[in-house]
Structure formats: structure tokens, C-alpha cells
Amino acid sequence: MDQAEKLRDMMKMQTKEKKLQARIITVTSGKGGVGKSSISVNLALEFKKQGKKVIIFDADFGLANIEVMIGAIPKYNLADLIYKGKELKDIIVNGPMDIGFISGGSGISSLSNMSKDQVLYLVYKLRELENLADIIIIDTGAGISDTVLEFVSKSSEILLVATPEPTSITDSYALLKALNSRKDFDNTDSVIKVVANRVVSRDEGDNLYNKLSVVVNKFLDVNMEYLGMIPVDTNMSMAVMQQKPITLAYPNSQASKSIEQLASKLLDIEISEDEKKNGIAAMFAKMFKGKKGGV
């Protein structure tokens, strides 16, 4: 029996255990710097406050911004799990309130070069995550790169963060257009939930969503809805300077209250096991289907 066959057998055993799948929420945006990482971290904390086990997966191999935000520097990243024999527990660091954090690091850029055995191994290992988390938040990098689209197109729940600047709206549209044109994106399987960040009023958030939905409904075939807004709040930058997430540093600030509401709204949505697209391992397996290391 070769290595790949052994792994396949082990995976079959895992599947038989019939674990509950974690809910995966992928946070993305057309334009960079609109608040994805801030929202990922603070939503994670709110979910945790509401009794959920949460892991944030940083799929942005560029800047290590979540690490700075939560003040926890991981020793190892996804590449160490794939290539250096590290265990899942070695690459998870605990942030504030014990939310878990995994850095994709250089593992993200090397994903496309993995062999079949490596992909199988990764998928096998990631299944363990289902025991450790009720919700996995994937924070993607900025812009419309292939890596970002890979993650987004395989996610059933997508949070699209936009700000009121005209460029953010056009960039959001460009991201949705790129997503819509991908063969591996199934609009009946995925819901895009828009978060309007850094708005000065509720109306400004509504307007942002309306502007975007007019063009999206006219030209694209995607399933989009409005989740809500987060106001522009100077406490956000003050929290960043203290290297503390705003919901911990300033829980009564307007932005924190809004994030709390968004988290409750997300938790109120019932997600069936079916809608979870079989969890994180299946998501990665799908990413490699038909590719070099495809399984």
C-alpha cells in the first residue's frame, strides 16, 4: 500500500466518525485595508463570548496583521504542518479569550505546488479542526488574486467587506464579477453577506449596499444580502495601537456594539450540515480537485 492509499484509508475512517462540521465564514473584500482582519478578530471574540469555539485562519500570506492585532505570534504556520511534520496543535496559537489562530504563512503560496500525497495529508490533518472549532473564520488577503478567489469560491458563507469610497464599491463589484465567472463557483451554494464598514450613518451603509446591489443584480448571478454596518470609530485605531481588539479594549464603543450585533445576527442564522459544504477539509480537497495535487 503506498502512502496515498494509506492516507485515503485513514480518511475513510475519519469520515465514518461523522463529526459535526465547523461553520466556515470567509472574510474578503475587493479593495485592501477596508477592515477584514479587524472584523475577523472581533467577530471571533463575539462568537466566543456567545459560547462558540472559534479558530481564525489567516489566509493572507503577506502582512502578519492578525498577529499584531491579537498580540500572539505563532511559531509555526501551515507550511510547517505540510512540509515539516508539525501537528495541528503546534500551528494553533491561542489569542485573547482563547480564540485559536492559524497562520497560513508561506504555506498559502505553496499550496498550488503540493503533490497529491501532501494534499491528502493536509486534508487529513485539517479534519481534526472540526473537533476544535464550531466556527472557522478565514481572513483572506486584499484584492482579487487567484488565492483569494480559491478560498472564496469554495466557501458557502462569504462576508464581503466594503467601505463607502467609490473605489471600494467598484472593487467589490470586480471581485464578485471575477467570482461569478469562475467555473468552480456555484451561486446556489454560496451566500455573500455584505458588511458596510467605516460608515458615518446607518443610511450610508444602506446606500452602499443599494449601490452595489443595483449593479450586481443587473449584471451578475450571485446570491447577495446585506448583513449590516459598522460605523467609523476612532476607538478602532486606539485599540490597534494598544494591540488589543476593539471589542475587548472598548466593548462599549459604537463599532464594538455593531460588531456584536453582526455576530448575533450571524449566529441566529441556522446553517444546516449540508450547507457547511462538508467543512474545512472538504473545502481544501475541492481546492485541489483537477489540479496537480488533486485528490
Question: What are φ and ψ of residue 28, in 5° steps?
Answer: -145, 175
Helix (H) or strand (E) holding 92: strand 92-94
Judge contact between 91 and 81, C-beta under 8 A: yes
Of the residues 4, 93, 232, 267, which one makes contact with ligand ATP according to CB under 6 A: 232
The one segment of 18-26, 109-117, 228-236, 261-269 that binds ligand ATP by CB under 6 A: 228-236
255 part of the interface to ligand ATP, by CB under 6 A: yes
- Residue 35's binding partner, choosing from ligand ATP, Mg ion, none, with beta-carbon cut-off 5 to 8 A by kind? ligand ATP
Of the residues 26, 65, 147, 258, which one makes contact with Mg ion according to CB under 5 A: 65
159 part of the interface to ligand ATP, by CB under 6 A: no
Could you give the string, one character per residue 193-212, with x where binding to ligand ATP holds by CB under 6 A and - elsewhere? ----xx--------------
CA distances from 160 to 39, 66, 169 (A): 11, 18, 11
CA distances from 217 to 166, 176, 210 (A): 18, 11, 10
38 part of the interface to Mg ion, by CB under 5 A: no
Min CB(70)–ligand ATP separation in Å? 12
Helix (H) or strand (E) holding 219: helix 202-219
Q: Which of 80, 63, 229 is nearest to 160 (CA)?
A: 229
Could you give the string, one character per residue 24-53, with x where binding to ligand ATP holds by CB under 6 A and - elsewhere? -----x--xxxxxxx---------------
107 versus 279: smaller Cβ distance to Mg ion: 107
Side by side, the strands of the sheet bearing 157-162 are: 92-94, 100-103, 54-58, 135-139, 23-28, 157-162, 191-199, 224-231
Min CB(140)–Mg ion separation in Å? 8
113 versus 234: smaller Cβ distance to ligand ATP: 234
Residues that bind Mg ion (CB under 5 A): 36-37, 65
